[in-house]
Structure 1
Amino acid sequence: MGWLVGAGLVDFTIRSKPIVQATRLRYQQKVISSGYDARKEAEEFIRKKKDKKFFKLKVIDDEIGKGVFAKREFANGEFLLEYQGELVSYAEGKRRMNDYPLSLGSYIFLFGFQDKKLWIDATFSKQMAKYVNDAAPKTKENNSIMKVLEIDGNPHLALFASRKIFKGEEIRYDYGERSLSWRKKCAHRSPLKAYYHDF
């Protein structure tokens, strides 16, 4: 579960020199020009209800479970994934948090939108963003940020790269809660084992 305050949209247009990125298929070149618009790309994938194909879901270990890994490099500011699920009211989200069995996992995301508290319930979503793991703020593992996008009058949660992400690196963002018990446990993990995967 995470908390995110939607305080309006920022300009997601990347205005930098072209960045060359390698894809999975024998490092075929893809150039993101200075006209790349991350918000526009996010809207396209959100409307299609599909993930980008440049991610791999992998089991990390029995305690952590699954994680999402990059199959190519991503530029700072680039759209990654939508936290896709059912939009529900605050009261309904609280009820589901209490009623869902532990075996389902916790994939209900609390956020603020237009002075309201709402939830995205991704419990039954087939998209990958619900498996993106937490990272404490201002750590090297934290490489993305969740933002609220209003599309056709409805809020959507979209994950964007907050720095350059390397091929094989685990995608992680700050869930927005300070007292998460696993942050202490994760401090003892081996970075190479936990955060990178060879493809």
Structure 2
Amino acid sequence: MKKVGILGGTFNPPHLGHLIIANEVQTHFNFDEIWFMPNQEPPHKDNTTAVNSLHRLKMVERAIADNSLFKIQSIELERSGRSYTLETMKLLTEKYDHEFYFIIGADMVEYLPKWYKIEELIQLVTFVGVNRPQYDQHSDYPIIHVDVPNIGISSRMIRERVKEGKNIRYFVPNTVIEYIEENRLYET
């Protein structure tokens, strides 16, 4: 049975922190693949700053193109409305005979009690929690913890830097910078 780690997010834009997390978790567990799963409309975030899903999908494609173990799972973009992990995982477990591990940052570890039908969800996936500066990794839910380098990069910070005309080199892959510039994303 294939072991697959899933890294969900808005990826607005994808940055080196996402790639480092995926790489560290894949290396730690020797997963067969890591699926980057851009979501349509996360229930816990204000979606007013998001660029459209096609742009986010294209940026993720560019960001992961040089790693054969990194794949895109676009199932959440194919549905409209809020993206609930439980509904997504039900669909994925019906479609694939894989063992799924859902990768979350420590900020989401703290938020797990508020996840939609969390008790049902923990029956479908194993959570992998990674450290994130200023967040606690403790949880009453079963989580496997993986230490990753603390990278203080956020998509919000990148969007703000672009809006202010600042350089984002070394925060995102060059291919993503090119895409942002070609499509004039985050400028306003």
TM-score by length of 2: 0.25
Greater helix share, 1 or 2?
2
Greater strand share, 1 or 2?
1
